[in-house]
Structure 1
Amino acid sequence: MSFKKLIQPLKEALETKGFNSPLPFQKSILPKIKGGASLFCIAPLGSGKTTSIVLSVIQKLKGEAFEDAPRALIFVKDKQAALNLELEFNGYLRGTDLRVYCAYDQKNIDDQRNEIYDGVDIVIATPKRLNKLYYLNGINLNKIQMFIVEDAEFLFQNNNLGEIARTPESIGKCQYLVFSTKFDTRFERWQDSFMYNAQVITSK
Structure 2
Amino acid sequence: MSLDKLKLSKPLVAAMTDAGYLSAKEIQAKTMSRIIGGQDILAVGPEGCGKTTNYVLGALMKLKYGTDEAPKILILVADKERALAVIDQFRSLSKNRDLRIIGLYGTGGMDAEINELVDGVDIVVALPSRARAVYLKLGLNLSKLQLFVVDDAELIVKQGMQLPVCELARSAGKCQHLVFTTVLHEKLEHMTSQFMNFPAVIEVTDLGEKQAETHELLLYQVPNFKSKLNLLDLLLRDDEVFDKVVVFVNTRLNAQKLGQSLHSRKPGEISVLNPLFFDEEGFDHIEDFKETESARVLIISNEGNASVDLSGVPFIFHFEVPQVKETFLSRVLKSGPEEVVAITFATDMELVDVRKIEQSLGARIQVMDLPEELVVDQPGKKAKIDKNRIVKEKQDGPKGGGAFHDKKEANAKDYNYGIGQKAKMTMKKKHS
> TM-score per shorter chain, which class?
over 0.9
1:26–1:52 Cα contact (<8 Å) kept: yes
2:153 alignment counterpart: 152
Q: Is the 8 A contact 1:155 1:161 kept in 2?
A: yes
2:96 and 2:194 mapped to 1: Cα distance?
Answer: 38
**Secondary structure of the equivalent of 1:73?**
strand
Task: Name the counterpart of 1:13.
Answer: 15
1:3 aligns with 2:6: no
Query: What SS does the aligned partner of 2:138 have?
Result: coil
2:31 maps to which residue? 29
- The TM-score normalised by the length of structure 1 is 0.93
Alignment-mate amino acid for residue 161 of structure 1: Q
User: In structure 1, the residue corresponding to 2:94 is in which secondary structure?
Assistant: coil
Q: Structure 2 stretches of 5 or more lacking a match?
A: 206-432
Coordinate RMSD, CA, aligned: 1.6
Q: Provide the secondary structure at the position in 2 that maps to 1:132.
A: helix
Taking a change above 3 Å as real, the CA distance of residues 12 and 115 of structure 1, as seen in their structure-2 partners, is same
Pairing 1:181-196 to 2, within 5 Å after superposition: 181-196=182-197
C-alpha distance in 1, partners of 2:163/2:77?
14
Give the distance between the partners of 1:7 and 1:68, measured in 2 at CA: 26
Report the counterpart of residue 75 of structure 1 in structure 2.
76
Instruction: Give, as a single letter, the amino acid of the residue that structure 2 aligns with 1:97.
Output: D
Maintained 8 Å contact 2:2/2:22: no
User: What is the aligned partner in structure 2 of residue 168 from structure 1?
Assistant: 169
Q: What residue number does 1:46 align with? A: 48
Cα pair distance change 1:104/1:191, threshold 3 Å: closer
Measure, in 1, the Cα distance between the counterparts of 2:141 and 2:151: 21
State the Cα distance separating 1:126 from its structure 2 match: 0.5
Match of residue 201 from structure 1: 202
Report sequence identity in percent: 37
- Change over 3 Å in CA distance of 1:18–1:158 after alignment to 2: closer
Q: For the Cα contact (< 8 Å) 2:154–2:188, is it kept in 1? A: no
Superposed displacement of residue 84, structure 1:
1.2
Which one has a bigger Cα radius of gyration?
2
Retained in 2: the 8 A contact 1:2–1:27? Answer: no
In the TM superposition, residue 157 of structure 1 has moved relative to its aligned partner by: 3.3
- The aligned amino acid for 1:7 is S
1:42-64 superposed Cα distances (whole Å, 9 cap, x missing partner)? 001121111001101111104x2
* Aligned-residue offset at 1:8: 2.8
| Greater RCO (Cα-Cα under 8 Å, separation 6 or more) | 1
Matches within 5 A, 1:117-156: 117-156=118-157
CA shift at 1:2, angstroms? 6.0
Deviation at 1:32, TM superposition (A): 1.1
Please say which of residues 186-195 and 119-128 is displaced more in the overlay.
186-195
SS of aligned partner of 2:82: helix
Number of residue pairs matched by the alignment: 203
**Distance in 2 separating the partners of 1:25 and 1:110:** 39
The one-letter amino acid paired with 1:40 is L
1: CA distance between counterparts of 2:196 and 2:119?
A: 31
Q: Higher helix proportion, which one?
A: 1
Whether the 8 Å contact between 1:9 and 1:94 is mirrored in structure 2 is: no
1:5-43: per-residue Cα shift (whole Å, max 9, x none)? 212321110121232331122101111111111111100
Superposition misfits of 4+ residues, deviation over 3 angstroms: 1-4, 190-193
Q: Which residue identity is paired with 2:113?
A: Q
How far 1:193 sits from its partner (Å)? 3.3
CA deviation digits over 1:167-187, x for unaligned, max 9? 122112111111111112123
| Change in 2 beyond 3 A, CA 1:89/1:187 | same
Q: With structure 2 as the length reference, what TM-score do the two structures score?
A: 0.45
